[in-house]
């Protein structure tokens, strides 16, 4: 037994001597997985949702300004859902979960995130963690024209005319329906003399133009959501002025 202990001791001394004499000598290292390799791979075949891999609001980008046409990803951590990808519309707005229409253009990702955080903590969460990231800029997509960064010829849009705050074309979301009441909100809401009870939707069909009258006042004031019809690409919404008889 003493012989065995002596043999082990001599072996250790020999190893120590080798280390001292040869500066390039290295003991075998155990394999270490990097933190990056441990993360799940980003999805391929689509634009990566950058908001999926950020968890701290303090590291959200505060240098680049969001613009109309940018593709952004948005995640509310407390929802425990995947990041949602949204295209910033021609008006500079997005349709944010739980909040509705929010101005995104002209703000950095961090500014937009903290604005949404403030709104969510007023009505839904005690503490809200909102992650926003720009996934694709208008330069990346090659869109141009219309003076706002991209044209409408390759987008699904509806047009709002008449007694609303902002007339114009509005992009339809890709992952959910856009209803007539939401289109009115996108356009800034009704003007003072709008006829809210007879809002006209002009829709092109194979049989020709079809006019649909919608009582949006009942939708917004009485919650008659069955009247809140989903819009189709190319629909034109016309809000007439209310007729006043003296």
Residue-wise pLDDT tens digits, 88-145: 887 788 888 888 888 898 999 999 999 999 999 998 899 999 999 998 887 765 544 3
Distances (CA, A) of 103 to 75, 134, 231, 244: 16, 15, 22, 35
Please answer whether residues 127 and 151 qualify as being in contact, where contact means their C-beta atoms are separated by less than 8 angstroms.
no
DSSP letter string, 146-201: TTTTS-STTS-EEEEEESBSS-EEEEPPSSS--BHHHHHHHTTSB-TTEEEEEEEE
Query: What is the distance between the alpha carbons of residues 68 and 61, in angstroms, rounded to a whole number?
Result: 17
Q: In this prediction, what percent of the chain has a pLDDT beyond 70?
A: 73
Supply the pLDDT for residue 116: 93
- Spans of all domains in the chain: 50-141, 157-241
> Is 199 buried (19+), middle (13-18) or exposed (0-12) by CB count in 10 A?
buried
Query: What is the distance between the alpha carbons of residues 158 and 214, in angstroms, rounded to a whole number?
Result: 16
Residue 205 pLDDT grade (very low, low, confident, very high; cuts 50, 70, 90): confident
Residues 6+ apart with CB under 8 A from 194: 162, 163, 164, 239, 240, 241, 242
User: What digits encode the pLDDT tens for the residues 34-61?
Assistant: 333 333 333 334 566 788 888 889 889 8
Query: What six digits make up the tokens of 206?
Result: 């194979």
Longest dimension (CA), the chain: 120
| SS3 label, residue 203 | strand
Cα 103 from chain centroid (whole Å): 12
CATH for 50-141? 3.30.1950.10
**What is the H or E stretch that residue 102 is in?**
strand 100-103
Topology match between the domains 50-141 and 157-241: no
Segment of 13-17, 107-111, 156-160 carrying the highest mean pLDDT = 107-111
| SS3 label, residue 245 | coil
Its CATH architecture, for the domain 157-241, is Roll (3.10)
User: What digits encode the pLDDT tens for the residues 63-83?
Assistant: 889 988 888 999 999 999 988
User: What digits encode the pLDDT tens for the residues 219-236?
Assistant: 998 888 999 999 998 899
């Amino acid at each position: 037994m003493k012989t065995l202990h002596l043999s082990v001791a001599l072996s250790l001394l020999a190893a120590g001597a080798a280390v001292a004499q040869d500066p390039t000598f290295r003991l075998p290292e155990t394999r270490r997985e990097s933190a990056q390799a441990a993360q799940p791979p980003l999805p391929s075949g689509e634009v990566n949702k950058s908001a999926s891999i950020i968890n701290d609001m303090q590291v959200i980008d505060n240098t680049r300004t969001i613009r109309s046409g940018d593709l952004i990803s948005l995640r509310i951590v407390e929802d425990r859902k995947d990041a949602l990808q949204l295209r910033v519309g021609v008006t500079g707005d997005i349709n944010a979960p739980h909040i509705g229409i929010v101005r995104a253009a002209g703000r950095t990702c961090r500014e937009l995130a903290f604005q949404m955080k403030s709104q969510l903590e007023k009505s839904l969460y005690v503490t809200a963690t909102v992650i926003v990231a720009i996934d694709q800029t208008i330069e990346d997509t090659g869109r141009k024209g219309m003076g706002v960064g991209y044209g409408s010829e390759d987008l699904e849009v509806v047009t709002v005319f008449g007694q609303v705050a902002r007339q114009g074309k509005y992009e339809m979301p890709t992952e959910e329906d856009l209803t007539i009441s939401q289109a009115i909100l996108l356009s800034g809401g009704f003007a003072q003399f709008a006829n809210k009870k007879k809002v006209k939707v002009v829709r092109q069909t194979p049989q020709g133009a079809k006019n649909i009258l919608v009582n949006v006042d009942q939708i917004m004031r009485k919650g008659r959501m069955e009247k809140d019809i989903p819009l189709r690409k190319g629909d034109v919404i016309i809000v007439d002025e209310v007729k006043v008889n003296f």
